[in-house]
Structure 1
Amino acid sequence: MSNIKRHDGAGEGDVEAFLARVREMPAPAASGGRGRLVLAMDATMSRQPGWDMALSIQGSMFAEAGRVGGLDVQLVYFRGFDECRASKWTPDTDGLARLMSGIRCQGGRTQIGRVLKHLKAEAARGKVSACIYIGDALEEPIDGLAQVAGEIGLLGIPVFMFQEGHDKTAEMGFREIARLTRGAYFRFGSNAAGILRELLAAVAVYAAGGFAALENHSAQRGGAATLLLNQMK
């Protein structure tokens, strides 16, 4: 990988609110014939308890996107002291999942600003369909993050902000980033793995193939994918 410098379960209302935000977004452009999804993760020490569960969920997301085809994924993560890295874009979701399994959490502060700036830089080099961010904290001034998030929103890149836990500062910031990018916010707990897995898979399918791919995915899988489809109609 190259450095970028180059609880409780979710209720039905939470799911509906998340899907309502997704409904407002336009389908990703079909230019180039492939979707590109950035998967960004907080790998600081506070995430360690839920890390293995997150890896399993993201593996399922990769599997669903792989069945659709036409999706390149880039992994971005931060941890430790000033470490923030990004992988190459790759269609090999199995290989990327194996790469993720070798990452270990390390103590450090959040670096969400660097993630957002990286996302903007990637968009300048080529189309980015969507970004998924998974974390549990926010330790940076929200005004600076909001400025970059607004710029990303103008580029048409929705950021799906997934929060683990109940940190109020993180929730406020995550919601604002999602709003400014026309993405969506969702909070999950340790027993919400099932619905989170379905939502992540549906977002990946949407990034890979747009509305038509999500329709097909919904017909085969149902569940959260069907809810997502119904909200987008």
Structure 2
Amino acid sequence: MAGKPIARGVDRKPERTVEKRARPDEIAAFLDRATALRASGAGGGAGRLIFALDATMSRQPTWDLATELQGDMFDAAAKVGGLEVQLVYFRGRGETKASKWTADAARLAAMMRRIRCEGGLTQIGRVLGHAGAEARAHPVAALALVGDSMEEPFADLAARAGELRLLGVRAFCFQEGADPAAGEAFREIARITGGAYAPFDAGAAAELRALLGAAAAYAAGGLKALEARADGASRRLLGDLR
């Protein structure tokens, strides 16, 4: 696929002059304003979703399933305003790549079909860091993360999730299987960002289709669009978002 490698973070020198430190009440007020903006669908973030998938070796069956189902995300979003998607994946020995943004389901599917899963450790931290970088460049409404394991220090993931919250990016974390470490990490990433967590069974096409469609509807139209959907997956995610 014509993806671009995600560069590792670069340390920067601190600014020479620092304004006064924010008081706890100012930080709380900022978080309240950010939450209100997301709840109303305001702020220009609707319509952009980062679709992040674990492409390590165990994931090939679900990768193929996600390739088949990704068009349903665009269909769900089209009903409430449309969607731009960026595919991000990790696999092998430190390989994490991101595609260009696209509003074309066929183009995204073609890119996904050219990718094969390879053995390796998870790189969820780099995915979260990339999502933050994208959100600083232009508004991103949501991150949909699909995976089945977590092999990284959780403190790093929590810190990056906190950055996403401040940037207004909700993480929808969908866990395949029942790995306890992955479940704990995915739940916390969702909680910290104000997003949602949901497990799904391997091979459950209808279940994953509904979850991806609900995440896409939120990205395109905010909470109102998700509330307008009558399916169980949307109600399931709304329970976390509220």
Fold in common (TM above 0.5): yes
**In the alignment, structure 1 residue 163 sits paired with structure 2 residue 167:** no
Distance apart, 1:209 and its partner CA: 2.2
Alpha-carbon separation, structure 1, partners of 2:154 and 2:224: 36
Q: What's the CA shift string for 1:97-141, capped at 9, x where partnerless?
A: 221122110111100010011011111101010110000110100
Distance apart, 1:68 and its partner CA: 4.0
After superposition, where does 1:116-131 map in structure 2 within 5 Å? 116-131=128-143
> Does the CA contact (< 8 Å) of 2:6 and 2:130 recur in 1?
yes
- What residue in structure 2 maps to residue 145 of structure 1? 157
Aligned match for 2:166, one of 145, 154, 175: 154
After superposition, where does 1:1-233 map in structure 2 within 5 Å? 1-5=3-7, 26-29=39-42, 31=44, 35-214=47-226, 218=229, 222-224=230-232, 227=235
Inter-CA distance 230–86: structure 2 relative to 1 (3 Å threshold): closer
> Does the CA contact (< 8 Å) of 1:66 and 1:93 recur in 2?
no
Inter-CA distance 213–171: structure 2 relative to 1 (3 Å threshold): closer
> Does the CA contact (< 8 Å) of 1:29 and 1:129 recur in 2?
no
Inter-CA distance 165–229: structure 2 relative to 1 (3 Å threshold): closer
Inter-CA distance 94–146: structure 2 relative to 1 (3 Å threshold): same
Q: What's the CA shift string for 1:150-196, capped at 9, x where partnerless?
A: 11112221100001111111111111111111111111112532132
Kindly report the root-mean-square deviation, in angstroms, between the aligned alpha carbons of the 2 structures: 2.4
Higher relative contact order (CA 8 A, sep 6+): 1
Distance apart, 1:81 and its partner CA: 1.3
In structure 2, runs of 5+ residues without a counterpart are 9-37
- State the one-letter code of the partner of 1:167: D
Alpha-carbon separation, structure 2, partners of 1:90 and 1:69: 15
In structure 1, runs of 5+ residues without a counterpart are 7-24
Instruction: Please identify runs of 4+ aligned residues in structure 1 that moved more than 6 A.
Output: none
- State the one-letter code of the partner of 2:235: L
Question: How many residues align structurally?
Answer: 210
Inter-CA distance 193–81: structure 2 relative to 1 (3 Å threshold): same
Inter-CA distance 226–151: structure 2 relative to 1 (3 Å threshold): closer
Inter-CA distance 151–68: structure 2 relative to 1 (3 Å threshold): same
